[in-house]
Amino acid sequence: MRTNALHAALFSIFVLLTSMLALHRSGSMRLHADQALLRGEPARAFETQYDQAFPAKTFGVNLWAAIDYELFGEGHAGVVIGREHWLYTDEEFRLENDADATLARNLALIVWLRDRLAEKNVRLLIARVPEKASIYPEFVGAHAWLQLHRELPARIGAALDAAHIANVELAQTLRDGKAQQPTFLRTDTHWTPFGAQLAAQAIGNAVAKLDLRFAAPTDFRQRREACAAHRGDLFTFLPLDPYFSWLLPPPDCVEAAHTEATSTSSELFGDAPPPQIALVGTSYSANPLWDFPGALQQALHQPISNYATDGLGPFAPLAVYLQSADWQHAPPQLVIWELPERYLPTAQHLDAYHVPATAFTTP
């Protein structure tokens, strides 16, 4: 109650001061003689002038965000402020209604998608990306990490194993790796290029156990750029620019990576068959900054077709791929599905991708 009262008082003072300033600036407004009163043109002109003069348009958003950030340790909906400038997506700290039922529906959906792949004798390997809070819990602070989120890895793993779906849990790999270098970015939802490389190596080990026969191995080489400042995607929920940007956490430093084949065989000049491995997933795979597909190619010594998509979650990209010409005419031997576990308790709306309602039910 005291926090709400303080918010209200600060907001009232702010609105009063900025409104008075805007009215003062708007007082210099001059109407043109040809602006018709009956058509409401003077009113529209005054509204435009007031909007331009009203400092709350940008400054106000920044100021209120600064008050929330500095006094209350909060950002806009979408971010959780941790300790020592660590930011987390709030998807790891909240649950929808009927989250348990939603989890069960999405696990059934995974089985349905596996069966669609199996219709063309394509194997599925799910690469389970853990929640950032499970890898770096020491910076979460006082924020409550809910019980279902704590249970997710065990529940997902048990369900996939029971359905005989090959999967690799990446949590321990990323947790162990942080003793060498950061495996998740401090101000971003995603893993670091180093974390992506560790994940690729773990996936490579899992693929080796599937007893698949691929084409002759290809060597790949990864090169790193100099470390450059990276404004994490979670800065979006801290609208402090431009007036209070000095309050923002320091940006991460990322060594962007790029991978290319080192072979000079004729396969690199258009004579090669389509890759026998397809990657689908989210921005963990789609964003070139982490070079996760390149790291996978290095680990597997095989070219990979990347069908990951940013901004659609993990399920829609696989549904889209199953409707593509590539899938219809040249299915691979293996699909690697990069799947962040935090999406599993979240309702998926896939009607636009021709996924039937029966896909969400256990057969």
* Exposed / middle / buried, residue 147 (Cβ in 10 Å: 0-12, 13-18, 19+): exposed
DSSP state of 251: P
Strands 277-280 and 305-306, how do they pair? parallel
User: What kind and span of H or E run contains 24?
Assistant: helix 2-26
Six-digit token string for 247: 């309050």
Sign of CA dihedral 346, 82, 182, 290: positive
Residue 228 zone, left/alpha/beta (φ > 0; ψ -120 to 50; rest): beta
Q: Are 142 and 99 in contact (CB under 8 A)?
A: no
* Residue in 68, 190, 233, 285 annotated catalytic: 190
- Please indicate whether residue 283 is annotated as part of the active site: yes
Beta bridge partners of 278: 305, 335
Preceding amide of 249 cis, omega within 30: no
CB 7 within 8 A of CB 24: no
Catalytic annotation on 190? Answer: yes
Q: Exactly one of 149, 252, 283, 285 is catalytic; which is it?
A: 283
Give the active site residue among 68, 188, 233, 252.
Answer: 188
Which residues have a Cβ under 8 Å from the Cβ of 157 and sit 6 or more positions away?
128, 167, 169
Three-class SS of residue 80? strand
Q: Which two tokens stand for residue 344?
A: 């599993």
Tell me the catalytic residues.
Answer: 188, 190, 283
